[in-house]
């Protein structure tokens, strides 16, 4: 079977009217955190946490493609699984079309599964080898109990055609298809219920270079035809450049830079973005000389114990003491261009001065607040001691102090329960995800 490149215009049910107008945020993410607990020993005590996603704030606008890049282990897939709610967030807020979906149960998420779909990286493991293409692509209809006008088979065949596959191959098994065609099957399955948003996790990484462009073009065509909103995760900057309207760069669980595609590629401000870009080969030999390659040394540090201050400082050639002490906030240095670095590159100089003043002021404010808190605490303690003395009821005063550890224990028990229930939920969600993955 040859790899078809065209996307046929099959008759499929009309897409649902977009609820949000062009440019409006379809998905909003605020301070999203996912820490995977590390447990040890017989009692399975938590001894630490993998800080896979550590405070992400961004939005995805109706009809756009947000590209997400970063090296392996930066938390991109975890972010994708959080916003599709295949994972339960540790904290933070995810809002889809104005509805808070951060902690919705599997049952409550079910209707929303129609609107938010995911395409997985590996087209080999994401399709059940024992099911035919018809069963795989038709699964969402069955799972959601949806009846289509001319029956599920006709709807599935329309989807196959839409994704450049032969509808006659409805009864074939995944192993009879090439990698690119399998990914098309995965895309057809994701499109079955006419979602509003698709999160594609490295959709072409597992494919031959020659096939990658065809699948990327298919995603592009489908977006135009169906008005889809995409979040495309990739470690390859050239893929992201091709498909994205805006790009977010992730490093060790955080967004370090987010901007319109053209602004980011024309003037990357974060040293990490610069390093990633310098690794992209330049096709024009005459430009080679001006292309200074920045070699990133070492690996991404462990998210179990990330560096203090700026997470990138252990690999950054511009790092200073300040970088180790103060975490740089993600701030807008140009319209629509945010960066988290104390010494950004390509930034307007007046803005840099402003940022430095702002972060200095912010640092001072934090220090003042901490001082005030310490002073207030000292005052409180002194007052309490005085009261105790005056009333000569030191014993009575001690009682609440004794009670404190009990309260702390109760709180710890509660939080353990919470952790356990979150994990139970996670494993259910994981199973759920797996079920969906395997259709
Ligand atoms: N279920 C999990 N349990 C524990 N750690 C995990 C889990 N999933 C991912 N991680 C860890 O979280 C970090 C980020 O992983 P991931 O989101 O897959 O990154 P990326 O997709 O950018 O390569 C990695 O260190 C990974 O080992
Ligand atoms: S804050 Fe410092 S360490 Fe971090 S990227 Fe900027 S210069 Fe490098
Ligand atoms: Mg990944």
What pLDDT shows up at residue 274? 94
| Choice among 76-80, 323-327, 409-413 with the minimum mean pLDDT | 409-413
Output the average pLDDT for the chain. 79
Ligand 2 contacts CB of residue 271 (under 6 A): yes
Tens digits of per-residue pLDDT, 218-255? 999 999 999 999 999 998 888 899 899 999 999 999 99
What pLDDT shows up at residue 17? 40
% of the chain surpassing 70 pLDDT: 71
What pLDDT shows up at residue 287? 58
Which of 268, 300, 312 has most ligand 2 atoms within 8 Å of its beta carbon, as the pocket-test mutant?
Answer: 312
Look at 352 and 31; give whichever has higher pLDDT. Answer: 31
138-145: average pLDDT: 89
Q: Which domains does the chain have, with CATH numbers?
A: 25-244+423-437 (3.40.50.300), 271-347 (no CATH)
* pLDDT of 63 above 70: yes
Measure 307 CA to ligand 3 centroid, in angstroms.
21
What pLDDT shows up at residue 439? 32
Ligand 2 contacts CB of residue 241 (under 6 A): no
Ligand 1 contacts CB of residue 50 (under 6 A): yes
Residue 418 φ/ψ, nearest 5 degrees? -60, -45
What pLDDT shows up at residue 99? 94
* pLDDT of 411 above 60: no
Name the band, by pLDDT with cuts 50, 70 and 90, for residue 364.
low
Sheet containing strand 246-251, edge to edge, reads: 116-119, 197-201, 229-234, 65-69, 246-251, 254-260, 337-339, 331-334
Tens digits of per-residue pLDDT, 258-298? 999 999 999 999 999 999 998 776 666 665 555 567 888 88
User: CA-to-CA distance for 246 and 18, rounded, in angstroms?
Assistant: 20
Residue 21: exposed, middle, or buried by beta-carbon count in 10 A (0-12, 13-18, 19+)? exposed
420-432: average pLDDT: 38
Tens digits of per-residue pLDDT, 88-108? 999 999 999 999 999 999 889
Name the band, by pLDDT with cuts 50, 70 and 90, for residue 299.
confident
Give me the half-sphere count of Cα atoms (radius 13 Å) on the Cβ side of residue 199.
22
Ligand 2 contacts CB of residue 131 (under 6 A): no
Measure 211 CA to ligand 1 centroid, in angstroms.
27
DSSP, res 298: S
Look at 125 and 311; give whichever has higher pLDDT. Answer: 311
CA 409 to chain centre: 34
Give the C-alpha distances (Å, rounded to integers) separating 148 from 61, 134, 158, 167: 29, 14, 12, 17
Residue 168 has a CB neighbour count (10 Å cut-off) of 10
Which of 35, 75, 429 has most ligand 1 atoms within 8 Å of its beta carbon, as the pocket-test mutant?
Answer: 75
User: CA-to-CA distance for 283 and 120, rounded, in angstroms?
Assistant: 30
Which residues partner with 99 through β-bridges?
96
* pLDDT of 16 above 60: no
């Amino acid at each position: 079977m040859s790899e078809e490149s065209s996307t046929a215009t099959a008759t499929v049910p009309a897409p649902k009217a977009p609820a949000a107008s062009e440019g409006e945020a379809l998905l909003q993410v605020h301070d999203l955190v996912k820490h995977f607990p590390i447990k040890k020993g017989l009692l399975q005590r938590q001894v630490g946490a993998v800080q896979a996603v550590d405070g992400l704030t961004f939005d995805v606008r109706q009809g756009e493609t947000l590209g997400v890049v970063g090296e392996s282990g930066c938390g991109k897939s975890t972010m994708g699984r959080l916003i599709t709610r295949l994972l339960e967030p540790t904290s933070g807020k995810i809002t889809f079309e104005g509805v808070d979906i951060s902690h919705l149960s599997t049952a409550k998420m079910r209707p929303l599964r129609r609107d938010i779909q995911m395409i997985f990286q590996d087209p080999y493991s994401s399709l059940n080898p024992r099911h035919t293409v018809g069963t795989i692509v038709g699964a969402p209809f069955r799972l959601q109990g949806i009846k289509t006008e001319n029956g599920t088979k006709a709807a599935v065949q329309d989807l196959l055609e839409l994704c450049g596959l032969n509808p006659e191959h409805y009864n074939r098994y995944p192993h009879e298809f090439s990698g690119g065609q399998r990914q098309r099957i995965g895309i057809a399955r994701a499109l079955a219920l006419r979602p509003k948003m698709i999160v594609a996790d490295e959709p072409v990484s597992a494919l031959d270079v020659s096939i990658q462009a065809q699948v990327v073009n298919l995603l592009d065509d489908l977006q135009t035809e169906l008005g889809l909103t995409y979040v495309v995760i990739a470690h390859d900057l050239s893929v992201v450049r091709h498909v994205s309207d805006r790009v977010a760069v992730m490093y060790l669980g955080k967004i370090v830079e987010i901007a319109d595609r053209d602004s980011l590629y024309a003037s990357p401000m974060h040293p990490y973005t610069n390093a990633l870009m310098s690794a992209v080969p330049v096709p024009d030999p005459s430009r080679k000389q001006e292309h200074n390659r920045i070699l990133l040394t070492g690996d991404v540090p462990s998210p179990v114990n990330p560096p203090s201050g700026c997470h990138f400082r252990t690999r950054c050639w511009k790092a200073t003491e300040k970088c180790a002490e103060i975490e740089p906030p993600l701030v807008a240095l140009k319209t629509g261009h945010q960066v988290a670095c104390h010494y950004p590159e390509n930034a307007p100089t007046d803005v840099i001065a402003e940022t430095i003043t702002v972060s200095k002021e912010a640092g001072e404010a934090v220090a003042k607040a901490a001082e005030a808190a310490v002073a207030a605490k000292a005052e409180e303690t002194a007052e309490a001691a005085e009261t105790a003395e005056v009333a000569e009821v030191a014993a009575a005063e001690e009682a609440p102090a004794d009670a404190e550890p009990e309260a702390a224990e109760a709180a710890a028990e509660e939080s353990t329960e919470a952790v356990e229930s979150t994990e139970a939920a996670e494993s259910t969600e994981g199973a759920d995800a797996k079920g969906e993955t395997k259709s």
